């Protein structure tokens, strides 16, 4: 079965794909961020599908907080996609930027659902965002177990395959970036054609990620 490792931090820094510009309200960048960071929180790795209200449980996080540098409030290159839990805990703290450093060098998800720190920055991330909170650990453990069940029995038990799909497939409401017209265009022009929505339309998108 061809399924990716579903709960792990990236081994490389995130390379930005899109470059929309010109929205007066930074919240209008959200569809781009959803697609850019593949519908999950860069900090805790929770996915939109893990929340009953999906993308409504997510928001835009300013890597350099608004209070620290208000000039970056509408700068796409200063945004990452975060669940509202992590975003509100983070507040105005400055932590490492997943587009500059690979979080996989700082954090590892254990089978138990616990995160281990691999560096001082990793330790700080866990502390600052309370990433080993009991509820988060339980949730990761549950998803890990579901993943293992799917690997072992998914092909013969449709109910397991269905539960796995609910956890690890793409959201059904993929944003159609081609229909959006950022006021100042897209500095990484043509990236709309590489969106998950466009890839699904071409039949190129896998079932899981």
Site residues, Zn ion (CB under 5 A):
41, 43-44, 83, 86
Least separation in angstroms between CB 84 and Zn ion = 8
User: Nearer Cβ to Zn ion, position 62 or 197?
Assistant: 62
CA dihedral 188, 69, 30, 144 (to 10 degrees): 100
User: Nearer Cβ to Zn ion, position 8 or 155?
Assistant: 8
As a 3-state breakdown, the chain gives helix, strand, coil percent values, each rounded to 5, of: 40, 10, 50
User: Nearer Cβ to Zn ion, position 18 or 90?
Assistant: 90
Least separation in angstroms between CB 88 and Zn ion = 10
- The conformational region for residue 47 under phi > 0 = left, psi -120 to 50 = alpha, else beta, is beta
Give the dihedral sign, CA 103/61/22/190.
positive
CB 81, CB 40: distance < 8 Å: yes
User: Nearer Cβ to Zn ion, position 10 or 21?
Assistant: 10
User: Nearer Cβ to Zn ion, position 43 or 170?
Assistant: 43
Least separation in angstroms between CB 49 and Zn ion = 14
Least separation in angstroms between CB 158 and Zn ion = 31
Least separation in angstroms between CB 89 and Zn ion = 9
- The conformational region for residue 23 under phi > 0 = left, psi -120 to 50 = alpha, else beta, is beta
């Amino acid at each position: 079965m061809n399924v990716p490792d579903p709960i792990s931090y990236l081994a490389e820094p995130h390379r930005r794909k899109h470059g929309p510009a010109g929205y007066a309200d930074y919240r209008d960048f959200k569809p781009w961020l959803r697609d850019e960071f593949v519908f999950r929180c860069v900090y805790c790795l929770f996915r939109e599908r893990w929340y009953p209200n999906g993308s409504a449980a997510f928001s835009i996080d300013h890597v350099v907080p608004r209070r620290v540098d208000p000039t970056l409030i509408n700068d796409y290159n200063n945004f990452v996609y975060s669940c509202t839990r992590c975003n509100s805990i983070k507040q105005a703290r400055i932590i490492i930027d997943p587009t500059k450093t690979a979080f996989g060098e700082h954090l590892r998800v254990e089978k138990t659902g616990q995160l281990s720190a691999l560096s001082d920055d990793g330790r700080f991330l866990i502390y600052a965002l309370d990433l080993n909170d009991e509820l988060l650990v339980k949730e990761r453990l549950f998803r890990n177990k579901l993943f293992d069940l799917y690997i072992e029995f998914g092909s013969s038990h449709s109910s397991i395959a269905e539960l796995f799909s609910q956890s690890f497939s793409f959201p059904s409401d993929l944003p159609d970036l081609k229909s959006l017209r950022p006021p100042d265009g897209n500095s990484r022009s043509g990236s709309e054609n590489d969106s998950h929505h466009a890839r699904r339309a071409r039949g190129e998108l896998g079932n899981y990620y």
